[in-house]
Amino acid sequence: MRKIEFVTPVKLGAQQYEAEDTKSFPKAEADEYIRMGWAKCCSTGEQGDLVPGVQKLSVDSVQSSNGL
C-alpha cells in the first residue's frame, strides 16, 4: 500500500477525489496516479508531470479470487 495526496480533482469510476484528498492504494495503482501527475506520494513527495486532457492509464489484467 502507498498513501498519496491528490494534487488535482480526479474522477476514477464513480469515485471523485479533490485536490488535497489523501488515500492509500495498492502500490502499483498509486504509482500510476503519481506517474500521471494526479497525485504525489505522502512519504517521498514524488510526483509526475501533469499533462492536461484525457490520459490513458496503464493497467494490468486482474483475476478475481473466486476465478471469475
Question: Domain locations in the chain?
Answer: 2-41
Give the pLDDT score at 63.
53
Give the pLDDT score at 13.
85
> Measured in Å, how far apart are the chain's first and last C-alpha atoms?
24
Instruction: Quickly count: other Cβ atoms within 10 Å of residue 64's Cβ.
Output: 6
Give the pLDDT score at 47.
94
Give the pLDDT score at 22.
97
Per residue in 4-58, pLDDT (tens digit) is 999 999 988 899 999 999 999 999 999 999 999 999 999 999 999 987 777 676 6
Give the pLDDT score at 61.
56
Return the closest-CA partner of residue 43 out of 24, 66, 67, 59: 24
